[in-house]
Structure 1
Amino acid sequence: MTSQLYTLEVLRLATSTADLRPLDQPQASVEKRSPTCGSRVRVDVVVDEQGRIADLGAQLQACALGQASTALMAAHAKGRSGPEIGAARDALRAYLANTAESPGEWPGLEIFAAARSHPGRHAAILLAFEAAAEAATAAAR
């Protein structure tokens, strides 16, 4: 059953995070850690005058699911605000908890369908969205 979690698409996305790097001069940085598995993700952001992400960096030590989620978050975060990323996080959380049929509007999150029946993996999947939402909101203040 666990093998369903680590699809070729999840593993491909996980390896794509090798290109992510911390920013040299972020306006805000937030690190989140999953108490369940120990995965850690730090997201650095710079926002523009409208409070939208202009640049994003990340550093992570996470399982393949956390890495894949970070890759999807990073690929689509530029131009979005903290509240928009928070809404994506909330939609993903509801999807994982089986209280929503769809993971929301954020591209690619349906790859976590198999994780819905594995609550111990949910925290790692949500880390990057939690960190990015907090960092973008803090930088916009």
Structure 2
Amino acid sequence: MTANADMIKLYSSRILALAADIPRLQRLEAPGATVKRRAPLCGSTITVDLTCEDGTVTDYGQDVKACALGQAAASVVGANIVGCDGAQVRSARDALALMLKEDGPTPPAPFDGLEVLRPAQDYKNRHASIMLSLDAAVEALETACD
């Protein structure tokens, strides 16, 4: 497969659609925690606000300045994180890292939409951007919920 064909596969229409329609792009007025993360290789950043009650995410907001892959990941996370507990979010983060690094299984529901990012496995310089939203969410959960 040529390099151009690989890039076309990587930036599929599904990834681009997710990147174009990121939910929860508003910052929260009174978050329980705010975390800003940056991917050093590409400069992508995400700021996550969240609130928790009884260990469950009750509200979530994000400011996303990332490549299409990071935006697609943020889209899946933003659409599914409210109602999840810390264990679910940590499990999704760990599974996404394994999926990208070791061709591990798709992250469990409700984050199984991250499967769309499997073609990025061969692009290690993109992994940090893809991981930003879940890494930031886990850090925020540790402050707000645990």
TM band (smaller chain): over 0.9
Aligned match of 2:113: 108
Aligned match of 1:12: 17
Gaps of 5+ in 1: none
Deviation at 1:55, TM superposition (A): 0.3
Q: Is the 8 A contact 1:82 1:134 kept in 2?
A: no
SS at match of 2:106: coil
Aligned match of 1:57: 61
Q: Is the 8 A contact 2:81 2:89 kept in 1?
A: yes
Task: Work out the number of aligned pairs and report it.
Answer: 139
Q: CA RMSD in A?
A: 1.3
Q: 1:29-68 residue pairs with structure 2 within 5 A?
A: 29-48=34-53, 50-68=54-72
Mapped to 2, the partners of 1:137 and 1:97 lie a distance apart of 24
Percent identity over the alignment is 36
Instruction: Mark the CA change 1:111 to 1:56 in structure 2 (over 3 Å): closer, same or farther.
Output: same
Q: Give TM-score, length-normalised by structure 1.
A: 0.93
Gaps of 5+ in 2: 1-5
1:68-99 Cα offsets, whole Å, 9 max, x none, are: 00010111101112232111111000010025
Q: Give TM-score, length-normalised by structure 2.
A: 0.90
Aligned match of 1:125: 130
SS at match of 1:42: strand
SS at match of 1:108: helix
Mapped to 2, the partners of 1:14 and 1:80 lie a distance apart of 22
Q: Is the 8 A contact 2:24 2:60 kept in 1?
A: no
Q: Is the 8 A contact 2:73 2:131 kept in 1?
A: yes
Which moved further from structure 2: 131-140 or 79-88? 79-88
